[in-house]
């Protein structure tokens, strides 16, 4: 067996192993490793030397049970497969690592029931705090209130549960939508549809409001037949676009609640033999990597996903370590990325 394999399969050394080798009590070893002033310097040096020889590393779970403290952060996202959330997770992880924290990551797959389970699992793991972007189906916040009652801080990012007074990091969804629709109007599009997400989800409400107010600001009639409230996935955009193309209310442009929905609408327009943007322009929201690879590339509203995650982690660690009680709300700006789809 190679040296690496031997090391990999070696039994994890404990304080008891160190104590046996030195002929001292486990409690003395524990105090020595914690640099307790009652332990002689020579003893500390002997303990540390043997600990190094045995490849001893502290057990973080055991330490958290003993001290009632942990350096683990729970992260819950709707889906990991999309660039937006994977980039946000990278931002969270960078800050956590730099600050001496580790993360436990879970996804809800857009399921409220799974979100509740994930929250309970993280509570079982005694996390120091949680960073959460809620599922599209979350209508009750009881599971989050349970976390708050246990004095465990929560920071929402991107999708926040409205009405719970905790810290959050979001983007200016309203302005991003307003700017995107205003741009379409400036290019001469007149029948602009909106494929939105669930009505109860805050980001969807704000993006829809931005869409409506942009039309009103430019003296355009808001046609309710061109507004669809669906989900947040490609299949939702595809189905909504299919319904539009089979109706008598066909749009000449469509503003979508996010990039996955825009990709679904994009696919259906292409399948119908229509030209983008001549027959129908498409705008998304997020600036996922795939948007630049479409033909033509997708115009979209850029969200600083990495910075969203980074700011959420910085705020959570500040709340944990400085015992901040007042909710911190941070709103990041967006940017319209104009490409060939408009």
DSSP-assigned letter for residue 126: T
DSSP secondary structure string, 198-266? Answer: -TTSHHHHHHHHHHHHHHHHTT----GGGEEE--SSHHHHHHHHHHHHTSS---SEEEESSHHHHHHHH
DSSP secondary structure string, 52-71? Answer: HHTT----HHHHHHHHS---
The stretch 18-44 carries a mean pLDDT of 83
Rounded CA separation 129/104 (Å): 11
Domains of the chain: 3-58 (1.10.260.40), 67-170+305-332 (3.40.50.2300), 173-302 (3.40.50.2300)
Q: Is the dihedral of CA 9, 15, 16, 20 positive or negative?
A: positive
Q: Quote the pTM value.
A: 0.79
Given a contact cutoff of 8 angstroms between Cβ atoms, the answer to whether 318 and 131 are in contact is no
Q: What pLDDT score was predicted for residue 331? A: 97
Rounded CA separation 170/331 (Å): 5
Given a contact cutoff of 8 angstroms between Cβ atoms, the answer to whether 309 and 288 are in contact is no
Rounded CA separation 297/266 (Å): 10
Q: CA-based angle 147:152:153, to the nearest 5?
A: 105
What is the tens place of the pLDDT at every residue in 106-150?
999 999 999 999 999 999 999 999 999 999 999 999 999 999 999
Given a contact cutoff of 8 angstroms between Cβ atoms, the answer to whether 192 and 212 are in contact is no
Given a contact cutoff of 8 angstroms between Cβ atoms, the answer to whether 119 and 94 are in contact is no
Going by pLDDT thresholds of 50, 70 and 90, the confidence category of residue 2 is very low
Q: What pLDDT score was predicted for residue 17? A: 86
What is the tens place of the pLDDT at every residue in 280-339?
999 999 999 999 999 999 999 999 999 999 999 999 999 998 888 899 999 999 999 999
Going by pLDDT thresholds of 50, 70 and 90, the confidence category of residue 5 is very low
């Amino acid at each position: 067996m190679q040296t690496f394999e031997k090391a990999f399969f070696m039994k994890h050394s404990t304080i008891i192993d160190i104590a046996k080798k030195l002929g001292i009590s486990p409690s003395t070893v524990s105090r020595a490793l914690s640099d307790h002033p009652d332990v002689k310097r020579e003893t500390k040096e002997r303990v540390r030397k043997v600990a190094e020889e045995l490849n001893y590393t502290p057990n973080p779970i055991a330490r958290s049970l003993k001290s009632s403290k942990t350096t683990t952060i729970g992260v819950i996202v709707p889906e990991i497969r999309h660039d937006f959330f994977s980039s946000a997770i990278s931002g969270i992880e960078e800050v956590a690592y730099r600050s001496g924290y580790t993360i436990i990551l879970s996804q809800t797959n857009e399921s409220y029931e799974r979100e509740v389970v994930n929250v309970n699992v993280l509570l079982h793991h005694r996390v120091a705090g949680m960073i959460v972007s809620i599922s599209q189906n979350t209508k009750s916040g009881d599971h989050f209130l349970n976390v708050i009652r246990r004095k465990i801080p929560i920071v929402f990012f991107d999708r926040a549960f409205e009405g719970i007074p905790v810290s959050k990091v979001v983007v200016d969804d309203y302005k991003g939508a307003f700017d995107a629709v205003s741009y379409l109007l400036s290019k001469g599009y007149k029948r602009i549809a909106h494929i939105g997400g669930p009505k109860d989800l805050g980001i969807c409400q704000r993006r829809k409001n931005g869409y409506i107010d942009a039309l009103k600001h430019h003296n355009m009639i808001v046609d309710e037949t061109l507004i669809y409230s669906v989900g947040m996935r490609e299949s939702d955009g595809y189905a909504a676009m299919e319904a539009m193309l089979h109706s008598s209310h066909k749009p000449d442009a469509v503003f979508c609640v996010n990039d996955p929905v825009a990709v679904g609408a994009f696919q259906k327009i292409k399948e119908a033999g229509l030209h983008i943007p001549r027959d129908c322009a498409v705008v998304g929201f997020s600036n996922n990597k795939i948007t630049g690879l479409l033909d033509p590339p997708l115009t979209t509203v850029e969200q600083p996903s990495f910075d969203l995650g980074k700011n959420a982690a910085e705020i959570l660690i500040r709340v944990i370590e400085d015992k901040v009680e007042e909710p911190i709300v941070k709103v990041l700006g967006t940017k319209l990325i104009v490409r060939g789809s408009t």
